[in-house]
Amino acid sequence: MNIFVFSDSMALMVELLGGARELAGNGSVAAIVIGSESQAQQAIAVGADVVYWLGEQGNWMVDDFVPTIAKILADQKPNVLIAGATIRGKAVVGRAAAALDTVAITNAKEIRSIDGSLLLSRMIYGGGAVTVQRATGDLLITTVGPGQFAAVAADQSRDGEIVPIERIEPVIKITKLESKPKQTGSSNIYAAKRVVAVGRGFAEKADLQLARELAAALDAELGYTRPVTEGTPPFAEGEPYIGVSGIQIKPDLYLAVGVSGQTQHVIGVNEAKIIVCINNEPKALMFRHSDYGIVGDLYEVLPELTKALKGV
């Protein structure tokens, strides 16, 4: 099997290449890289046999690369394109699929190769069910988010070929007028072994300080439910939220505070090793998903827990 990988996020590309390598078996894995030459080399170190190198992004938008990517796929005819399920990644492969008169199946949770055909699992009905789809065309285009595949350790001595690709100017090019860094926290939630999740049980934005203190005592990162990041007003705007439409993580410890435990949220963390919750409502769904639970008011429990963890 001949698998191509594309992502505008290099961190995600590394994971996708790990998964592609496993799926490909004795087949080949190629990466489509927009970035520096050292990033192209990094793609080889973590699993690509060939890198189609489109050069630095410069003043182009990722979307402007669609005609170039579609041409690579048309010329090279891979069996599969696995793209990073980022906002730009989905936009690019959706348009590339349309250009090639095929479809893109987004947000795969699992891709399996059985008897030469590919089976792809993805969640539907807001995470209430999983559908398994079989690819029937010549080219399967799909997107996969972070945390689904394990990256392989980089091996700088791996052999691989970098093929520089001339960009095709899109018919309608987007003009970038300005770029500014996105206002997000310094969360490293994907790599975190421990996560404290903030739910709508926190009454005020300022109260999140209680969660920050608990997270610091636990050496944990903060995660959020969707209403906390996107509600009105948002308490943690721009921060990652966990769930079916957010991120999926697999920490060793997940401590949900003031989180009700709706499926759409829990689906993003149900592979955590240990789940603990703190909720003042004994019938909250979150208790059913938890290994341990504390029934109590977070405003009383959190300061005590933080104090106990700090040993003061």
Ligand X SMILES: Cc1cc2nc3c(=O)[nH]c(=O)nc-3n(C[C@H](O)[C@H](O)[C@H](O)COP(=O)(O)OP(=O)(O)OC[C@H]3O[C@@H](n4cnc5c(N)ncnc54)[C@H](O)[C@@H]3O)c2cc1C
CA pair distance 178, 237, nearest whole angstrom: 22
Tell whether residue 246 is a contact of ligand X (CB under 6 A): yes
Binding residue for ligand X (CB under 6 A) from 79, 143, 148, 260? 260
CA pair distance 134, 113, nearest whole angstrom: 10
Q: Could you give the strand order of the β-sheet that contains 2-6, starting from the edge strand earlier in sequence? A: 104-105, 140-144, 80-84, 2-6, 28-33, 50-53, 161-164
Binding residue for ligand X (CB under 6 A) from 41, 148, 279, 306? 279
Binding residue for ligand X (CB under 6 A) from 219, 291, 297, 304? 297
Three-state DSSP at 53 gives: strand
Instruction: Output the six-digit token pair for 233.
Output: 């007003």
What is the per-residue binding string for ligand X in 20-49, x denoting contact by CB under 6 A? ------------------------------
CA pair distance 108, 125, nearest whole angstrom: 14
Amino acid at 241: Y
Tell whether residue 201 is a contact of ligand X (CB under 6 A): yes
Within 140-169, the residues that bind ligand X by CB under 6 A are none
Cα-to-chain-centroid distance, residue 110 = 13
Binding residue for ligand X (CB under 6 A) from 21, 122, 226, 289? 226
Binding residue for ligand X (CB under 6 A) from 14, 30, 93, 228? 228
CA pair distance 104, 229, nearest whole angstrom: 28
Cα-to-chain-centroid distance, residue 195 = 16
Q: CB of residue 49 vs ligand X: minimum separation in angstroms?
A: 36
CA pair distance 67, 5, nearest whole angstrom: 16
Binding residue for ligand X (CB under 6 A) from 155, 281, 291, 304? 281
CA pair distance 68, 166, nearest whole angstrom: 8
Binding residue for ligand X (CB under 6 A) from 53, 241, 254, 287? 241
Burial class (CB within 10 angstroms; exposed 0-12, middle 13-18, buried 19+) of 20: buried
Q: CB of residue 19 vs ligand X: minimum separation in angstroms?
A: 22
Cα-to-chain-centroid distance, residue 88 = 12
**Residue 192 or 284 with smaller CB distance to ligand X:** 284
Binding residue for ligand X (CB under 6 A) from 19, 84, 89, 199? 199
For the chain, the maximum distance between any two Cα atoms, rounded to a whole number of angstroms, is: 65
CA pair distance 175, 189, nearest whole angstrom: 33
Binding residue for ligand X (CB under 6 A) from 7, 143, 248, 262? 262
| Sole window of 45-53, 94-102, 158-166, 198-206 interacting with ligand X (rule: CB under 6 A) | 198-206
Binding residue for ligand X (CB under 6 A) from 264, 269, 287, 293? 264
Which DSSP letter does residue 247 get? B
Binding residue for ligand X (CB under 6 A) from 21, 95, 122, 265? 265
Q: CB of residue 32 vs ligand X: minimum separation in angstroms?
A: 28
Residue whose entry in the numeric block shows the structure tokens 């079916």: 244
CA distances from 92 to 18, 84, 246 (A): 21, 10, 19
Instruction: Point out the residue whose Cβ comes nearest to ligand X.
Output: 243
Tell whether residue 110 is a contact of ligand X (CB under 6 A): no
Q: CB of residue 219 vs ligand X: minimum separation in angstroms?
A: 23
Q: How many residues bind ligand X (CB under 6 A)?
A: 29
Q: Which residues bind ligand X (CB under 6 A)?
A: 126, 199-201, 225-228, 241-246, 258-260, 262, 264-265, 268, 278-281, 284, 297-299
